[in-house]
Amino acid sequence: MFGLESKDGKLLLLVAALALLAPVILNPFPEGSAMSQFNAGYPDLMQRFVIFGILAIGFNILFGLTGYLSFGHAAFLGVGSYAAIWSMKLVTMNIIPSIIFAVIVAGVFSLVVGYISLRRSGIYFSILTLAFAQMSYSLAYSVLTPITGGETGLQIKSTDTPLLDKALEAGEIGRANLFGYGMGSSYQLELAGWQFTFNLGYYVAAVVMLISFYFAIRIFRSPFGMMLRAVKSNQQRMNYAGLSPKPYTLAAFVISGMYAGLAGGLLVAMDTQVGPERMFWTASGEIVIMVILGGAGTLLGPVLGAGFIKYFENIISKINESILQGWFAFLPDGLQDFMVAVVYPFIGKGWHLTLGIMFMLVVIFLPGGLIQGGQKIGSWLRRKKNVVAKDSTTKPAE
Amino acid sequence: MGILEIKGVNKRFGGLKALDDVNLSIAENTTHAIIGPNGAGKSTLLNVLVGKLIPDSGSVTFDGQSILGRQPHEINQMGISRVFQTPEIFGDLSVFENVMIPCFAKRDGAFRMHAYESIFAEKAIQQQAEEILADVNMLEKRHMIASSLSRGDKRRLEMAMCLVQNPRLLLLDEPTAGMARADTQNTIALLKEIREKRSITMAIIEHDMNVVFSLAERITVLAQGTPLVEDTPDNIKGHPKVREAYLGEAQV
């Protein structure tokens, strides 16, 4: 299918089905029920799932294949966002030109950063990319305020006059659109207590994510992708086999930078504003954690990791003390307070602690990420099934 | 005129003269061994030939073209392949991918942005890789991860990776160093077979006299950065100068 091997085609179909049905799948609990706070099927969060999925897919092309650990990918996300919003300010509020512009600008920026950073490898490469990202952040925060809006960031105001759009009314805040349809427009489906929201912005982002995922599969299965794995494995042999590792690594760096720019452009398309904190080094670190948590070098892992982290960030962090009191209300008073005190550090503002513990467990016991965990469970189930099958075939002989 | 011509090459490391006016010619379609005691400059010479070191003076030409100042991958693209003392392979990749990579390098050059094509569609390359794996008796191990191979198989794989490019000159850096006796014999047999099947020029840098005398057609003895003698194996065996250079080193 689309020039893919059947296994990869099935994977793409699976991801497509999950992405298209996400508003239903992520809302398994009826509205108003005690569990409904675990529902993740609201537009804002679903958009984040797929956009950060794109970011992680792109980062994985660099880190998963070549092994070069960039600690500055948030810079490309931020640059893409600024490029997208400027395209909206100057040309049109339509998201398509702004996303394309975001990808191009992020690509050029990553070419410059990559060309310089790739003069070194290993930890020095990571530090160089980190330095570039922090410089970008600081510049956006201070010196470049005329372009970036400094601390307050950028929005589309009524004073902006996009070339192709009609002027905004005084005081109105501009919202991005796709040929006139707002990204926030949704269709609500009520179904016997369940509530599903089908949001245009989410579906735009999901389609872009599926296209990105498709290209990532193509790259993974291409001779180019094999060369990138060769870069990770043995650059010395690459050289003596007549290959130049540098342009391959740089190409991977630029591709992953363009993916980050695409994600940045989409963030602006969904929520028409930018701030410099998007480029802060913790944002770069988050990308690394997403990919490692999900499984670096695998196709599905990065998307999974991105989803996990965004879920924790938005769902676990919303559980507060009174919700906990409710959960443990069935216990005797003293025990209830004790349980709340034990669990409390791990939820709400403490969600980083839960995430940190989970990350450590994954890195120590599943170096291949959550994907490896899934594979282990899968092979264990198969083995169990085989044993059962063997038992049933041997029994009649007794 | 040989395929590889080394003329007046000098290389200094601080006060040490590693190569001292080296003149050497390797004729096409021969196996030429370069031997010498420790510190004779064998490895320095090899590193000059593959572009890792640039000599202070002198010229090195391959098939009439100078190789000095070229990058290792450019020199490989000219038709020189190198086998390392410890096999350099792509440990994380499968055996089959290991041989496909040099095939792509040979066909597409040092860099090509073939990111949208599929490996599975590259039938010609796959066939080339399969043929060479069959040649070195490793076809049934094609799906194994290269780092899990035995030492001898790693050596075979590295040979296959070099041979699949049909190099005009194969440089071997102590191909049997640290090997058990049986492995050494296997490697000698493999090299002999390669030599018989293909018209390939080989330059071997070697310590083990057994290997040298069973393979080489010409031998150059290097001592203190200078070629001492160059002759056929039979004449080298009894040469007084060689005995002198090797005194206390090995029985010749």
Concatenated DSSP letters for B5-18?
Answer: EEEEEEEEETTEEE
Per the prediction, chain A carries an average pLDDT of: 89
CA dihedral A22, A23, A26, A29 (to 10 degrees): -150
What backbone torsions phi and psi does residue B171 show, to the nearest 5 degrees?
Answer: -100, 130
Confidence of residue A207 (pLDDT cuts 50, 70, 90): very high
Sign of CA dihedral A288, A291, A297, A303: negative
Region for B80 from its dihedrals, namely left if φ exceeds 0, alpha if ψ lies in -120 to 50, beta otherwise: beta
State pLDDT tens for residues A141-163: 999 988 898 888 898 888 888 88
In the structure, what pLDDT confidence band is assigned to residue A389 with cuts at 50, 70 and 90?
A: low
Q: Which residue of A has its CA nearest to B74?
A: A242
Residue A274 is inside which H or E element, if any?
A: strand A273-274
Indicate whether B173 and B251 sit together in one domain: yes
Q: Is a pLDDT exceeding 90 seen at residue A288?
A: yes
Q: Of B92, B117, B165, which is closest to A232 when you measure between CB atoms?
A: B92
Q: Is residue B213 part of a domain?
A: yes
Residue range A380-393: mean pLDDT, rounded: 73
Using pLDDT thresholds of 50, 70 and 90, give the confidence band for residue B233: confident
Q: Residue A395 — pLDDT band, cuts 50, 70, 90? A: very low
> Residue A294 pLDDT > 70, yes or no?
yes
pLDDT at A178 over 70: yes
How far B18 CA sits from the closest chain A CA (Å)? 23
Identify which of A379-388, B92-101, B119-128 has the greatest average pLDDT.
B92-101
Helix axis angle, A301-314 to A43-60, nearest 10°: 140
Chain A hits for B116, Cβ within 8 Å: 218-219, 222
Note whether B126 and B240 are same-domain residues.
no
Residues of A in contact with B91 (CB under 8 A): 233-234
| B149 is a domain residue | yes
Same domain? For B75 and B173 the reply is: yes
Residue of A62, A218, A220, A239 to mutate, testing the B interface (most B Cβ within 10 Å of its Cβ): A239
Residues of A whose CB is below 8 A from B163:
none
Last residue of a domain, one of B166, B196, B229: B166
Query: In which band, very low, low, confident or very high, does the pLDDT at A251 lie, cut at 50, 70 and 90?
Result: very high
Q: Is the minimum CB–CB distance between A247 and chain B shorter than 8 Å? A: yes
Place of tokens 């050497």: B24
Cβ pair A299, A163 in contact under 8 A: no
Residue B84, in any domain of the structure: no
Same domain, B20 and B54: yes
C-alpha distances out from residue B55 to A63, A304, B18, B47, B75, Å: 37, 53, 10, 10, 15
Same domain, B112 and B44: no
Looking at the structure, tell me whether residues B104 and B119 fall in a common domain.
Answer: yes
Q: Are residues B174 and B252 in the same domain?
A: yes
pLDDT at B160 over 90: yes
pLDDT the model gives residue A370: 92
Query: In the predicted model, is pLDDT for residue A6 greater than 90?
Result: no
Query: Residue A27: helix, strand or coil by DSSP?
Result: coil
Residues whose CB falls within 8 Å of the CB of residue B20, separated by 6 or more in sequence, listed in order = B10, B41, B224, B225, B226
Percent of chain B with pLDDT over 90: 56
Both tokens of B71, joined, read 């990058």
Q: What is the pLDDT of residue A211?
A: 96
Task: Tell me: pLDDT of B37 over 70.
Answer: yes
| Domain extent at residue B50 | 1-79+168-252
Q: For strands B31-35 and B218-223, give the pairing.
A: parallel
**Which chain A residues are within 8 Å of B101, Cβ to Cβ?**
226-227, 230, 238, 241, 243
Least confident of A91-95, A180-184, B148-152: A180-184
DSSP string, A134-197: HHHHHHHHTTTHHHH-GGG-EE--TT---TTSPPPPTTPPP--EETTEETT-EEEEEETTEEEE
Beta-carbon-side half-sphere exposure of residue A360 (alpha carbons within 13 Å) = 5
In angstroms, the separation between the Cα of residue B226 and the nearest Cα of chain A is 27
> Which pLDDT tens digit goes with each residue over A303-346?
999 999 999 888 888 888 888 888 788 888 888 888 888 888 88
The single residue listed with the structure tokens 């109105």 is A172
Where are chain A's structural domains? Answer: 6-297, 366-398
Q: Are residues B36 and B149 in the same domain?
A: no
Q: How confident is the model at residue B207 (pLDDT cuts 50, 70, 90)?
A: confident
Residue A225: closest C-alpha in chain B: B115
Asked if B122 reaches chain A (Cβ–Cβ under 8 Å), the answer is yes
* Residue B113 and residue B61 in one domain: no
**Is residue B101 a part of any domain in this protein?**
yes
Question: How many other β-carbons are positioned within 10 Å of the β-carbon of residue A14?
Answer: 11
Point out which residues pair with A186 in neighbouring strands.
Answer: A199
pLDDT given for residue B249 in this prediction:
52
pLDDT score of A390 more than 70? no
Average pLDDT, chain B: 89
More confident call, A177 vs A200? A200
Question: Which amino acid, residue B163?
Answer: L
Strand, helix or coil at A216?
helix
Say what the pLDDT of residue A391 is. 59
Indicate the number of domains in chain B: 2
Of residues B43 and A243, more confidence is placed in A243
B85 occurs within a structural domain:
no
Highest mean pLDDT of the ranges A159-163, A230-234, B174-178, B187-191: A230-234
Per-residue pLDDT at B135 exceeds 90: no
CATH assignment of A6-297? 1.10.3470
pLDDT at A85 over 50: yes
Same domain, residue pair B173 and B237:
yes
Rounded CA gap, B211 and B173, in Å? 12
Residue A240 to residue B88, Cβ atoms within 8 A? yes
Indicate if the pLDDT at residue B137 is higher than 60: yes
Given this model, what pLDDT does residue B239 score? 81
Residues A389-395 have a mean pLDDT of 55
Q: pLDDT confidence of B157, banded at 50, 70, 90?
A: very high
- B252 pLDDT above the threshold of 70: no
User: Which range has highest mean pLDDT (A47-51, A390-394, B232-236)?
Assistant: A47-51
CA trace torsion A201, A206, A209, A211 (10° rounding): -110
Same domain, B53 and B97: no
Q: What is the mean pLDDT of residues A376-398?
A: 70
- Given a cut of 80, whether residue A250 has pLDDT beyond it is yes
pLDDT per residue over B46-60, tens digit each?
999 999 999 999 999
Range ranked top by mean pLDDT from A150-159, A209-218, A373-382, B239-248: A209-218
Q: Write the pLDDT tens digit of every residue in A94-130.
A: 999 999 999 999 999 999 999 999 999 999 999 999 9
Please give the average per-residue pLDDT across A44-51, as a whole number.
93
Q: Do B101 and A226 touch (CB under 8 A)?
A: yes
- CB A223 to CB B105 under 8 A? no
Cβ atoms of residues A106 and A264 within 8 Å: yes
**Which has more pLDDT, B244 or A228?**
A228
User: Is residue B118 within 8 angstroms of chain A, CB to CB?
Assistant: yes
- One domain, residues B121 and B132: yes
